[in-house]
A = this chain, B = another copy of it.
Amino acid sequence: MTTQIPSCNRSGSWLSSLVPALDWLVHYQSKHLPGDVVAGVIVATLLIPQAMAYALLAGLPAQVGLYAGMLPLAVYAILGSSRFLSVGPSALLSLLIVTEVTVLAEPGSPRYLAFAIATALLAGVIQIALGLFRMGVITNFLSQPVLSGFTSAAACLIALSQVKHLLGVELPQTQHLHQRLAELAWALPQIDWPTLAISTASVSLLLAFQYLLPWLLAQWRRLPLVLEQSLSKSGPIIVVIVGTVSVAAFDLGEPGGVSTIGEIPNGLPRFALPEIAVSEALSLLPLALTVSFIGFLENISVAKSLAAKRRQKVDSNQELLALGAANLAAGVSGGYPVSGSFARSSVNFNAGANTGLASLVTVALLGLSALFLMPLFYHLPQAVLAAIIIIAVFGLIDFAMPRRLWRYNKADATAWLLTFLAVLGVGIEKGILIGVTSTIVLYLWRTSRPHMVVVGRVPHTEHFRNVQRHDVETLPHVLMLRIDESLYFANAKHIEDFVLCAAAEQLELRHLVLICNAVNFIDASALETLADLQTQIQDAGIQLYLTEVKGPVLDQLAGTEFLKQLGQDRVFLTTQEAYEKHRTA
């Protein structure tokens, strides 16, 4: 039996690693066609309403969302290393855009649009640069608690931003969470009841499609699986149709009635660069950095989780290049920043997509609707789109995570909570910085107070274990200590204190053994502390020994003043040797 683990060394030519689509384009198998077409259609029915909704969330015209779902999706299908990932507008990135660009330009103005498009271009350049420098690993420095706390908080912020559309009230643009909540409370008497009715109906319908329908269909067991799944995922397009028809039929729309998205020009995106000065582009740089980082993070998480299901390997640097190219494509075709969508990608995957062709089918359908169907959305209520957004982001809020973290590890739970509160309280960019800083500080704090134990020998073996956990032998003139951490500046003094204390308490002590099997490196500060320790111990008539020093650490110590003074004969391969030698001495 051979292993089925995705190979770690990329096979294939230079060209096919740069353009992974060549694999399936050149040898396209006709058996893949039905799955690809069906998946492409289903994703399109999901993407059309989502793309318009997210664009409105970002403070942009609805068609900008469609544009962001066309060329970028096609580009990613060619360059991406995941065959199922569906790239396009994202709720998170839309929130980032509306929060940060509003500070720089009036929402709805041409300058605002130009800034959003320019952000896509800048983010694309940054991602490509990071990919070329093979910096795909940077996302590893974002811990899971920070990521989860951030996602939950961002989802709350997104949901909150949609409440006004559900209620049909106007709210002034405010910066802080408490202001927004206060404004919302004040606006409650102005609720537009027809809007609220549409919202309630839309949310109920979406929930029914998401939870009730799959259960019913599963009971019924008559439909093929693909059809079952397509029906369950068709909630958004159904509420769009029902909502639009209702408003048109009962003449509930504007002026004076339910807010609708109004006129959207038919047509395909035009190729153009946003008109923006260099100084303005510079002021967008922090936002573009955040967008490129968050977008990549979203993308790589989705890609990895899908790849794991089919035992495929995702190359994070190739993903950076592909997503960067997709953002550039968004920037030159009037779209705004994109990333991989978890919801649409898993629909694509479950609906049977086999290759990137599924995404190309989606793009074609989006193009057709942009060309011909836009006037049909004239009466589409904003409340319906708000309901779609809220249901989409609701699944991102994960309050089970902090509880699970708390049981496992208080530090991780603290990082989750700090990130969550910081993102809600001071905003996305600062919030994520606070979260990252908190995980690093907590990590340093933990490694600065390492676990250190006195060990003894498990009788009749060569194993040495904690005297407090195991029944072990010890000797009055030998003290054996195990330090469960690398020695570095933040813990060197702490370790020195512990060793000196333990030594001072054992009055007959003559031999002190430090077991170093968990010491993975010794930095210069710790080396100096170790040398101090050796001098102090030596002056007190006690001999210091090191055992089980790892190869790389020993290599590093070779030639240092410390090892010269200690003497090569005081370093033992095993603790057993040191123990036997000084058993009687």
Interface residue ranges, A against B (CB under 8 Å): 1-9, 137, 140-145, 308, 311, 405, 407-409, 411-412, 439-440, 443-444, 446-448, 450-451, 461-463, 466, 469, 484-486, 488-494, 497, 500-501, 503-510, 517-521, 523-525, 527-528, 532, 535-537, 539-542, 550-552, 556, 559-560, 573-574
Contacts and interface: CB of A to CB of B under 8 A. Distances in A.
Contact of A144 (B5, B141, B444, B528): B528
B140 A489 contact: yes
B140 A552 contact: no
Contacts of A523: 143, 409, 411-412, 443
B503 A5 contact: yes
B539 A4 contact: yes
Given A1-B541, A6-B500, A532-B308, A140 B493 contact: yes
B518 A408 contact: no
A409 to B, nearest CB: 6
Nearest to A492: B140
B451 A542 contact: no
Identify which of A3, A494, A501, A507 gathers the most chain B CB atoms within 10 Å of its CB: A3
A574 B524 contact: no
A315 to B, nearest CB: 11
Closest 10 CB pairs of A and B: A143-B489, A8-B501, A144-B525, A412-B524, A5-B504, A484-B520, A4-B540, A143-B525, A3-B540, A518-B518
A536 to B, nearest CB: 6
B3 A542 contact: yes
27 contacts: A3-B504, A3-B506, A3-B542, A4-B539, A4-B540, A4-B541, A5-B500, A5-B503, A5-B504, A6-B504, A8-B505, A140-B492, A140-B493, A141-B444, A143-B524, A144-B524, A408-B560, A409-B523, A440-B440, A443-B444, A451-B520, A451-B552, A461-B462, A484-B552, A485-B520, A518-B518, A518-B519
A28 to B, nearest CB: 27
Contacts of A412: 523-525
A155 B484 CA distance: 38
Contacts of A510: 1
Nearest to A401: B524
Contacts of A497: 8
A405 B561 CA distance: 12
A130 to B, nearest CB: 16
Contacts of A407: 559
A439 B550 contact: no
